[in-house]
Structure 1
Amino acid sequence: MRDVNIDWANLGFSYIRTDLRYLSHWKDGEWDAGQLTEDNTLHIAEGSTALHYGQQCFEGLKAYRAADGSINLFRPDQNAARMRMSCERLLMPFPTEETFIEACRQVVKANEHFLPPYGTGGSLYLRPFVIGVGDNIGVRSAPEFIFSVFCVPVGPYFKGGLTPHNFVVSDFDRAAPNGTGAAKVGGNYAASLLPGAQAKAGDAQGRHFADAIYLDPATHTKIEEVGAANFFAITKDGLTFVTPKSPSILPSITKYSLLHLAEHRLGLKVEEGDVRIDELDRFSEAGACGTAAVITPIGGIQYGDHFHVFHSETEVGPVTRRLYEELTGIQYGTVEAPQGWLVKVN
């Protein structure tokens, strides 16, 4: 066990090597027993399909130090279900929901001293992944696979925590119609690197953006994703939570948690459907949501020559703040969780 010397109050979202990670191999039709290892370097064949053909998928979830000192995993069964869908889309074996959750539990317990203390706003981010490996050169499913889980202590994904950020609509597509947009695969993220960099570089007016917004790839008229996060908005009357629905959107566990909380805790109407980019005036608040960002309020969206401001570029809207407090309260154990949402690690 290495000494941990981390400035918890200023923890960002970057790689920090932790002590142990889970590793399991699939070969000859079955997974091995899996084990924890100190080695943070993967040793794979040069012909691995993960390297050449993008046969890989991953997940992201968090462990939280609760107010009572226990450790909460937030909805790991939903991450397991989503990884199963990603694996099926890419013809990869999945190591069962029970193995997935147990691997996450083992990694958190083995690296508990890297878990940020309660009250710091930090968490332990877990990155499970499955990749195709083994000697290969043809375009086919791999002969072998690796399932691994590692963890990293993290703070807010965007600097400033729950503060509004501006975004710009990109001309690029994040995913193709009927493609892999709903699977959590690396190719979707590789495609976002250039538009994301362009957004952060800013426009001719000197305005810089946190990331790019992607429209539906078929018509370029409807909002789909905000960088690597899902989009939501609150109608001007403050009564309805709206979020896009599309076969090329990654089904965000955070988004579906917010949908539930908006309806059952805040008493809002909820709508999952088309969100047209030319109808932003319907909304008084908007945000990006996901495991990494949790909720990032959207101050404004640049679309062509028009810059649309929601509640404020500097202040968080009241409904967005209530949703954030409800969700994070559940995660940190200060608000009662819906049945089955938390798995205790210790």
Structure 2
Amino acid sequence: MSAEKREIDWENLGYGYIKTDYRYISYWKDGAWDEGTLTEDNQLHISEGSTALHYGQSCFEGMKAYRTKDGRINLFRPDQNAKRMQKSCERIMMPAFPEEQFLEAIQAVVKANESWVPPYGSGSTLYLRPFVIGVGDNLGIKPATEYIFSVFAVPVGLYFKGGLTPSNFIISDYDRAAPQGTGAAKVGGNYAASILPGQDARKRNFSDAIYLDPATHTKIEEVGSANFFGVTKDGTFVTPYSPSILPSITKYSLLYLAEHYLGMKAEERDVYVDNLDEFSEAGACGTAAVISPIGGIQTKDGFHAFHSETEVGPVTQKLYDLLTGIQFGDVEGPEGWIRKVEI
């Protein structure tokens, strides 16, 4: 069954869970991962003593599969997701899942759910969620005795409702992660910490909360579950640097595209919340968000507007067109960025 034949309004998909046909699962026992398999069962059966339930021993990745104009399917830099997941596993003492097996698992899940990959031009994609959790009969704060690696797939639309329409954000008083903590790892606890401030922001009619550095509360780190970027008035593309920021694959892709495709100066450096005047444009970026323009930011001192609260800025638009063009196969990207799924 093709994507077009499924009774789904692809152009108006939300961002929520939909049960698809197959997912991949592999078990780690006695010091090794098994070969893994596809299953139709979307329920995990785990011990009540699983460390994922009690001590937060879990990590995940987010990535997408893209339908191209000729009907084929692209994956965007999946090797980088595999490497980042290995680092997340190492940070919380879980066995790293092998890169090649990771890539094979992703390919298998996309192929098995090919009819769920939204059609080209719909604006929707197939979101892939690989994760590792500690399981088994455990008690006490120590590494688990067993682990599960799994990947499931869900067709999704836009993460932020406005899409490429600018939206407003508010600086949070809460910290997303601690100095020298797990901020640079994609672990569940970081996201649990963001639920309350994110909900508070939306109650005040903002798209999400912006987190400052946990040590000094003077520098922008992350925008909800996405990374921040700004374009200075002299045309420099800037993203924050911090050891407690998740190393976003989208962010580093945009840094490269800004410099090598648009000929801009590109910097990863401190972004002080008291110096927002240096930016003519700003946005949030990530696998889920793609690129979401920021119309303005509410700080303690007032509301700071960027290019426009209603129209996307010219550099942000160019970067969006470049990035999505590469992902959907309309623009030739750097070597190795696209991996085809052989159906």
TM-score by length of 2: 0.98
Write out per-residue CA displacement over residues 169-222 of structure 1, whole angstroms, 9 at most, x where no aligned residue: 0000000000000000000000000100100011xxxxx100000000000000
Write out per-residue CA displacement over residues 244-296 of structure 1, whole angstroms, 9 at most, x where no aligned residue: 00000000000000000000000000111100000000000000000001000
Superposed displacement of residue 78, structure 1: 0.4
Equivalent position SS for 2:83: helix
**One-letter code of the match for 2:236?**
T
Q: 1:328 aligns with which of 320, 324, 332?
A: 324
Superposed displacement of residue 69, structure 1: 1.4
Superposed displacement of residue 138, structure 1: 1.0
Partner of 1:38: 40
Q: 1:166 aligns with which of 148, 168, 172?
A: 168
1:235 aligns with 2:232: yes
Superposed displacement of residue 5, structure 1: 1.8
Write out per-residue CA displacement over residues 27-85 of structure 1, whole angstroms, 9 at most, x where no aligned residue: 00011110000000000000000000000000000000011211000000000010000
**One-letter code of the match for 1:153?**
P
Superposed displacement of residue 105, structure 1: 0.3
Superposed displacement of residue 123, structure 1: 0.6
Return the alpha-carbon distance in structure 1 between the equivalents of residues 274 and 46 of structure 2. 48
Partner of 1:214: 211
Structure 1 regions of 5+ residues with no counterpart? 203-207
1:224 aligns with 2:213: no
Equivalent position SS for 1:67: coil
User: In the TM superposition, what are the counterparts of 1:115-194 in structure 2 within 5 Å?
Assistant: 115-194=117-196
Superposed displacement of residue 4, structure 1: 3.1
1:304 aligns with 2:300: yes
**One-letter code of the match for 2:147?**
F
Partner of 2:274: 278
Q: 2:247 aligns with which of 248, 251, 265?
A: 251
Partner of 1:205: none
Return the alpha-carbon distance in structure 2 between the equivalents of residues 259 and 339 of structure 1. 16
Partner of 2:23: 21
User: In the TM superposition, what are the counterparts of 1:52-71 in structure 2 within 5 Å?
Assistant: 52-71=54-73
The answer (yes or no) to whether the contact 1:131–1:146 under 8 Å persists in 2 is: yes
Return the alpha-carbon distance in structure 1 between the equivalents of residues 86 and 33 of structure 2. 15
Partner of 1:105: 107
Partner of 2:309: 313
Runs of 4+ in 1 over 4 A off after TM superposition: none
Q: Percent identity?
A: 73
The answer (yes or no) to whether the contact 1:169–1:303 under 8 Å persists in 2 is: yes
Superposed displacement of residue 160, structure 1: 2.7
Superposed displacement of residue 304, structure 1: 1.0
Return the alpha-carbon distance in structure 1 between the equivalents of residues 141 and 97 of structure 2. 23
The answer (yes or no) to whether the contact 1:72–1:332 under 8 Å persists in 2 is: yes
The answer (yes or no) to whether the contact 1:166–1:301 under 8 Å persists in 2 is: yes
The answer (yes or no) to whether the contact 1:231–1:243 under 8 Å persists in 2 is: yes
The answer (yes or no) to whether the contact 1:68–1:333 under 8 Å persists in 2 is: no
User: In the TM superposition, what are the counterparts of 1:62-101 in structure 2 within 5 Å?
Assistant: 62-101=64-103
Equivalent position SS for 2:275: helix
Return the alpha-carbon distance in structure 1 between the equivalents of residues 189 and 25 of structure 2. 23
**One-letter code of the match for 1:13?**
Y
Q: 2:334 aligns with which of 306, 329, 338?
A: 338
Matched residue count: 340
Equivalent position SS for 1:153: strand
**One-letter code of the match for 2:151?**
V
Return the alpha-carbon distance in structure 2 between the equivalents of residues 344 and 138 of structure 1. 44
Return the alpha-carbon distance in structure 1 between the equivalents of residues 260 and 181 of structure 2. 33
Q: 1:197 aligns with which of 196, 199, 213?
A: 199
Superposed displacement of residue 305, structure 1: 3.8
**One-letter code of the match for 1:242?**
V
**One-letter code of the match for 1:270?**
A
Return the alpha-carbon distance in structure 2 between the equivalents of residues 43 and 136 of structure 1. 15
Return the alpha-carbon distance in structure 1 between the equivalents of residues 6 and 35 of structure 2. 30
Superposed displacement of residue 228, structure 1: 0.2
